[in-house]
Each structure stands twice: as C-alpha cells, then as structure tokens.
Structure 1
C-alpha cells in the first residue's frame, strides 16, 4: 500500500474556510495526540512555503521565544 500522507492531509483540508482551518489546528493541539503531528507539520509546511522572508523571520522569532 503506497499512501502519500502529505497529499492525503492536503486533500482533507483543501477548500476549508479560515475558521475550519483554525478549528482543525486548535483541535489537533488540544487533543495532544501524536497522530495529529504529521498533519500540523504539513500545514506548517504550507505556511512556510507561502510566507515572505519577513513572515518567516517572525515565525522563527516566535518559535525561538516559545522554546525558552
């Protein structure tokens, strides 16, 4: 069985409204389930690929501050 997890995740959220995407993210974080981590990773990849250099730096600063 050849499953492309990235494509499956993108297919599942494609066309979602911003509110639906927020619900998905909040639910994944609040559930604390390990199985949700790949989905969050794919969503972060989409954000990263579509962010400007300034936005990327803001994300890195936020992440760095949150890890202190």
Structure 2
C-alpha cells in the first residue's frame, strides 16, 4: 500500500513547475490536515534522495534548529 501512495503522490506532481510544487506544499501545511502528512513525506523522500551530502547536512541543521523553538 505504501508503494501505491508513493506512486500516486509522485504521479500527481510529476511535471509540475516549482511554483505549483510550492503551492502544493504550502497548501498541505496550511490545511493542517493529518491526511496530507504522508504526501509531504513522499515529497521529502524525493528531496532527500536527490540531495548531495552538503544539502542533506543543511536540511538536518534546519530541522534541528526548527525543533529547538
């Protein structure tokens, strides 16, 4: 079932512009709906898998700092 969710999310956003992707992310966060979290997780997985070590370190630092607030 998780594989189907991944494929569905990726299929729904494939070919989207950066502006469309940003709108998708912002809408999902602003809605505050729990059902949106798996989709955001899939998008984060794509980001993580395509990031180099420096970008991953920056994301981890940002996450760590964000969780301290």
Runs ≥4 residues deviating over 3 A: none
Paired positions, count: 67
Superposed, which structure 2 residues align to 1:11-22 within 5 Å?
A: 11-22=11-22
**Residue ranges of structure 2 left out of the alignment (5+ in a row):** none
Residue 40 of structure 1 aligns with which residue?
40
TM-score normalised by length of structure 1: 0.95
State how far apart, in whole Å, the 2-side matches of 1:58 and 1:10 are: 24
TM-score normalised by length of structure 2: 0.94
How far off is 1:38 after superposition? Answer: 0.4
**Residue ranges of structure 1 left out of the alignment (5+ in a row):** none
State how far apart, in whole Å, the 2-side matches of 1:51 and 1:27 are: 24
Classify the secondary structure of the residue corresponding to 1:15: coil
Cα RMSD (Å):
1.1
